Amino acid sequence: MRHRLLILIATLCLPLGTALAEAPVVLVLGDSLSAGYGIDTERGWVARLAERIERTGWPHRVVNASVSGETTVGGLTRLPALLERHRPAVLVIQLGANDGLRGWDFAVMRENLTRLVIQGREAGARVLLIGVRLPPNYGASYTDGFQAVFMEVAAEQGVPLVPTLLKGVAEDWSLMQADGLHPTAEAQERLLDNVWPTLQPLLAD
């Protein structure tokens, strides 16, 4: 607590531009679930994360590098430049849903997620992995195997995992948009609540 207070005091003493530039970054690399598909992005869970971080006194700023339709392959293509530009203290990886929706091989997804975690860690970031569940129409065998990939990567790489971003949301059709894949604006706080307990410890040095 004393350490956080000293950081806050030091930050307040800096010019605004310098303070923003030197604030530790939380970089969110995700797909449409984090990009705020179908809703005002200012109401998305990542925007709410920035608000909660500020409200609870952490000095971090949030950079949302999420893109609708993004896959783990696309994430690997974009991540090096994002790491170089933002030098994040925390990297949140929320990718894989589109790999699953396209029926990609689990081995490819596992390798890509592993490489994303390693790249983030080698850049000095603390890494959080966020998983999702596929719709039940993909069949139990595929959906269970898909879910297991996140758990395997997290265990092998020793990084914290939020197993299911849409926990308590995907099961409630009133909280989902008409496509049945994306949560409504009203559900975004629940998504953040699913992430926050696992993310918050990574904000500490």
Chain segment 145-161, per-residue pLDDT in tens: 999 999 999 999 999 99
Percent of the chain with pLDDT over 70: 89
Q: Exposed, middle or buried, 179 (CB in 10 Å: 0-12/13-18/19+)?
A: exposed
**Selected catalytic residue, list 105, 141, 174, 179:** 179
- Of the candidates 115, 56, 55, 73, the residue with the CA atom closest to the CA atom of residue 91: 115
Q: In this predicted structure, what is the pLDDT of residue 22?
A: 83
Backbone φ, ψ for residue 154 (5° rounding): -60, -45
For residue range 28-64, what is the model confidence (pLDDT) as tens digits? 999 999 999 999 999 999 999 999 999 999 999 999 9
- Of the candidates 135, 69, 65, 124, the residue with the CA atom closest to the CA atom of residue 96: 69
Q: In this predicted structure, what is the pLDDT of residue 17?
A: 47
How far apart CA 31 and CA 121 sit, in angstroms, is 20
**Selected catalytic residue, list 31, 32, 60, 66:** 32
Domains belonging to the chain, first-starting first, are 26-203 (3.40.50.1110)
For residue range 55-107, what is the model confidence (pLDDT) as tens digits? 999 999 999 999 999 999 999 999 999 999 999 999 999 999 999 999 999 99
Is residue 32 annotated as a catalytic residue, yes or no?
Answer: yes
Backbone φ, ψ for residue 91 (5° rounding): -115, 120
Is residue 193 annotated as a catalytic residue, yes or no?
Answer: no
Is residue 86 annotated as a catalytic residue, yes or no?
Answer: no
